[in-house]
Amino acid sequence: MDLYEHQGKELFAKHGIPVPEGIVARTAEEARAATEQLGSKSVVKVQVQIGGRGKSGGIKIVGSAADAADAAAVMLEGGFKGMKVTRVLVEEQLPIEAEFYIAITLDRAAGDFLAMVSSEGGMDIEEVARTKPGALRRRHIDPLLGMHSYQARFLTEGLPADARTGAAEVLVKLYNLLKASDATLVEVNPLVLLADGRVVALDAKVTIDDSALVRQPELAELADSFPVDPTEARAKKAGLQYVKLEGEVGIIGNGAGLVMSTLDVVAQAGGRAANFLDIGGGASAESMATSLEVILSDPAVRSVLINVFGGITRCDLVASGILEALKRVEAKVPLVVRLDGTNAEEGRKILADADHERIIPKPTMLEAASEAARLAGVN
User: What Cα–Cα distance (Å) separates residue 101 from each residue in 3, 14, 139, 153?
Assistant: 19, 21, 14, 15
Rg (CA), the chain: 25
Could you give the 3-state DSSP secondary structure of residue 106?
strand
101 is catalytic: yes
Q: In angstroms, how far is CA 185 from the centroid of its own chain?
A: 12
User: Is residue 163 a contact partner of residue 98, using CB atoms and an 8 Å limit?
Assistant: yes
Residues 6 or more apart whose CB falls under 8 angstroms from that of 226 comprise 1, 4, 49
Residue 294: enclosing H or E segment and its boundaries? helix 285-296
SS3 per residue for 313-354: CCHHHHHHHHHHHHHHCCCCCCEEEEEEECCHHHHHHHHHHH
The β-bridge partners of 243 are: 276
Q: Which residues have CB under 8 Å from 145's CB, separation 6+?
A: none
Of 99, 187, 293, 371, the active-site residue reads 187
DSSP per-residue codes, 24-43: EESSHHHHHHHHHHTTS-EE
Give, to the nearest 10 degrees, the angle between helix 285-296 and helix 230-237: 170
Q: State which amino acid sits at residue 18.
A: P
18 upstream amide cis, omega within 30 of 0: no
Considering 4, 101, 175, 242, which one is annotated as catalytic? 101
Active site residue 21: no
Q: Which residues are catalytic?
A: 101, 187
